[in-house]
């Protein structure tokens, strides 16, 4: 096996070991990703030690975003029942912090390279992405990321990501790039706003990025918008107006999906002397907090469906977007090659013809230039004819190369705009190798075997979904199924106890 293939296989085997202990339902999906990798390497969509399986996070992922001092860290500490994150009115943490479970009694903080170099985490090779948007910043990965571990049982089977605020100008481009990345990968996104700053107009830039760029997504249901520290409005005569102002600000930017909550931390609440008002605030807080925490627990179920959905989407992307994109580019390449050949070869032959006529080598219909004389046993004419063929071939392959290069930038832009995984440009170049005919209608490595393998993977995803449905649903109400299905909110805990 090629060294790169050995690296990929080692990663997949490690992932299988992890899933076997944590969520066996997803174990069989690894084989599906292996098949997709095989197809992608055959076609040229993947190279080196890349794998589709390492391009998605396998742990349930919850991102917590928002402005500075919006109470994100305080919310996390209250949820995990551990003072892990620093909190305060000022910006106290300027890094993205990945928080995960550890059996050790002592919490640990690890540098960003621990995330950048581990494909199991959502920030694998993030330094490369940062480098694309901020030259020279990729080497400063520790300034953007950190990993913290904690023995809280609330973290078992999931990952939390605490983000820095969005109000700082320093490192802003890289910060927003990382934010977009984790939004795409997350199973649940909590967006926090600070009720102590009742004028939403002061947060125009934040609102624009966190809302306007997400309202047209197909997964808007995973966004929860949270007005935090709402207890500070109890001193006002019309606290409902504060909530209404935020709701109007979100609505003006087109937010029609996603749940809106108003909460505060009971451990750091402002005293509310009016008992009736306090009871009203506490009731609202408890209802909303319970719903938020419930969604955070159910993220384990959502993760299982996300992984299967990612497998299906990757398979469909290869067949319905990558291959057609490469095929259409090859057709344009063929047209450019034929046009270039016609112009250059035709020009060369026309030049020879004109020269021959002017030199008087045409005698009626007989073309008898001296270089085609039959002396020397007829070897010279054949030698010169061979040189002519070699020259025409050189022109043809030079045209092939130039035509391919002329299409690369456009192909890369199309792939990036469409969000295609893999590297269609590499697949295109593989299909334009000198030994490939320009009249080949399909990309190199794409044939019946690849199409059959893709169909098998797509059929398997239906089976995986049915398996998940059988575990988490029971439309018939059968006692047998009810006895077999684990509690929906703690799937991994049930599996751990069974082992």
Please state the rounded mean pLDDT for residues 5-14.
76
Look at 255 and 265; give whichever has higher pLDDT: 265
SS3 146: strand
- Which of the residue ranges 30-44, 243-257, 325-339 would you say has the lowest mean pLDDT? 243-257
| Residues counted in the chain | 499
- Quote the CA–CA distance of 417 and 308 in Å, as a whole number: 24
> Please, are residues 18 and 58 in contact by the beta-carbon 8 Å criterion?
yes
Q: Helices 448-472 and 29-43 meet at what angle, rounded to 10?
A: 160
Please state the rounded mean pLDDT for residues 122-137.
73
Average pLDDT, the chain: 77
- Quote the CA–CA distance of 162 and 481 in Å, as a whole number: 38
DSSP assignment of 8-25: HHHHHHHHHHHHHHH-GG
- Quote the CA–CA distance of 9 and 15 in Å, as a whole number: 10
Q: Quote the DSSP letter at residue 335.
A: H
| Order of strands across the sheet that contains 108-111 | 108-111, 145-150, 96-101, 159-162, 61-66, 188-194, 223-228, 259-262
Give pLDDT tens digits for 323-364.
999 999 999 999 999 998 888 878 877 776 676 666 555 555
> Please, are residues 229 and 196 in contact by the beta-carbon 8 Å criterion?
yes
- Quote the CA–CA distance of 52 and 160 in Å, as a whole number: 23
Which range of 69-78, 79-88, 354-363 scores highest in mean pLDDT? It is 69-78
Q: How many CB atoms lie within 10 A of CB 262?
A: 25
Work out the percent of the chain whose per-residue pLDDT is above 90. Answer: 20
SS3 264: coil
Give pLDDT tens digits for 182-222.
888 888 999 888 877 655 554 555 556 666 666 667 777 88
- Which of the residue ranges 88-102, 154-168, 217-231, 385-399 would you say has the lowest mean pLDDT? 88-102
Residues 6+ apart with CB under 8 A from 292: 190, 224, 226, 261, 263
Bin 379: left if φ > 0, else alpha if -120 < ψ < 50, else beta: alpha
Which range of 21-30, 379-388, 400-409 scores highest in mean pLDDT? It is 400-409
- Which of the residue ranges 123-127, 315-319, 475-479 would you say has the lowest mean pLDDT? 475-479
The confidence score (pLDDT) of residue 482 equals 38
| Chain Cα centroid distance, residue 465 | 21
What are the extents of the domains in the chain? 58-271, 454-498
Alpha helices in 23-102 (DSSP H): 29-43, 72-80
SS3 64: strand
pTM of the entire predicted model: 0.71
Q: Quote the DSSP letter at residue 318.
A: I
> To the nearest 5 percent, what fractions of the chain are helix, strand and coil?
60, 10, 30
The confidence score (pLDDT) of residue 391 equals 79
User: Tokens 């306007």 correspond to what residue?
Assistant: 212
The confidence score (pLDDT) of residue 210 equals 66
- Whether the per-residue pLDDT at 496 is higher than 70: the answer is no
- Which of the residue ranges 241-245, 372-376, 393-397, 452-456 would you say has the lowest mean pLDDT? 372-376
- Which of the residue ranges 55-69, 86-100, 203-217 would you say has the lowest mean pLDDT? 203-217
Question: Would the CA dihedral through 279, 281, 284, 287 be positive or negative?
Answer: negative
**Closest listed residue to residue 452, CA positions, set 333, 319, 344:** 319
**What is the second-level CATH architecture of the domain 58-271?**
3-Layer(aba) Sandwich (3.40)
Please state the rounded mean pLDDT for residues 451-467.
90
Work out the percent of the chain whose per-residue pLDDT is above 70. Answer: 75
Q: In the structure, what pLDDT confidence band is assigned to residue 236 with cuts at 50, 70 and 90?
A: low
- Quote the CA–CA distance of 29 and 22 in Å, as a whole number: 14
Tokens of 44: 């040229």
Give pLDDT tens digits for 260-311.
788 888 777 778 778 888 888 888 889 999 999 999 988 888 888 888 988 9
- Quote the CA–CA distance of 65 and 44 in Å, as a whole number: 37
- Quote the CA–CA distance of 355 and 361 in Å, as a whole number: 9
The confidence score (pLDDT) of residue 165 equals 67
Which range of 166-175, 214-223, 413-422 scores highest in mean pLDDT? It is 413-422
């Amino acid at each position: 096996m090629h060294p790169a293939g050995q690296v990929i296989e080692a990663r997949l085997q490690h992932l299988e070991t992890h899933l076997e202990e944590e969520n066996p339902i997803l174990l069989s999906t690894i084989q599906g990703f292996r098949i997709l990798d095989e197809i992608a390497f055959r076609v040229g969509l993947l190279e080196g030690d890349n794998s589709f399986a390492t391009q998605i996070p396998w742990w349930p992922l919850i991102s917590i975003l928002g402005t500075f001092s919006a109470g994100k860290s305080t919310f996390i500490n209250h949820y995990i029942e551990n003072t892990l994150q620093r909190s305060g009115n000022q910006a106290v943490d300027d890094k993205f912090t990945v928080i995960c479970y550890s059996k050790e009694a002592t919490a640990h903080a690890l540098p960003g390279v621990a995330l950048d170099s581990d494909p199991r985490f959502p920030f694998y090779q993030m330094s490369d992405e940062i480098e694309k948007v901020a030259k020279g910043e990729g080497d400063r990965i520790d300034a953007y990321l950190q990993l913290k571990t904690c023995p809280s049982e609330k973290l078992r089977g999931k990952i939390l990501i605490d983000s820095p605020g969005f109000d700082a100008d320093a490192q802003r481009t890289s910060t927003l790039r990382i934010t977009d990345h984790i939004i795409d990968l997350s199973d649940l996104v909590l967006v926090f706003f600070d009720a102590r700053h009742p004028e939403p107009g002061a947060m125009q830039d934040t609102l624009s990025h966190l809302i306007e760029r997400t309202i047209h997504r197909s997964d808007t249901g995973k966004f929860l918008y949270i007005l935090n520290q709402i207890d500070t409005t109890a001193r006002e005569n019309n606290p409902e107006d504060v909530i209404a102002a935020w709701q109007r600000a979100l609505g003006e930017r087109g937010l029609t999906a996603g749940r809106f909550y108003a909460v505060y931390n009971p451990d750091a609440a402002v005293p509310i002397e009016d008992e009736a008002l306090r009871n009203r605030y506490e009731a609202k807080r408890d209802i909303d907090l319970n719903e938020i925490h419930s969604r955070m627990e159910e993220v384990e179920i959502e993760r299982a469906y996300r992984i299967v959905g990612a497998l299906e989407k990757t398979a469909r992307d290869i067949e319905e977007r990558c291959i057609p994109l490469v095929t259409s580019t090859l057709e344009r390449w063929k047209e450019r090659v034929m046009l270039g050949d016609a112009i250059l070869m035709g020009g060369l032959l026309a030049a020879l013809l004109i020269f021959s006529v002017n030199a008087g080598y045409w005698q009626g219909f007989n073309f008898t230039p001296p270089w085609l004389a039959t002396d020397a046993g007829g070897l010279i004419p054949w030698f010169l004819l061979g040189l002519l063929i070699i020259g025409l071939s050189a022109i043809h392959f030079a045209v092939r190369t130039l035509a391919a290069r002329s299409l690369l930038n456009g192909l890369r832009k199309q792939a990036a705009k469409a969000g295609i995984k893999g590297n269609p440009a590499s697949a295109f170049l593989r299909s334009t190798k000198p030994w490939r005919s320009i009249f080949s209608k399909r990309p190199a490595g794409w044939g019946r075997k690849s199409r059959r393998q893709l169909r098998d993977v797509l059929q398997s995803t239906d089976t995986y979904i049915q398996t998940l449905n059988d575990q988490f649903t029971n439309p018939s109400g059968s006692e047998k199924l009810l006895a077999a299905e684990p509690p929906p909110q703690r799937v991994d805990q049930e599996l751990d106890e069974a082992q």
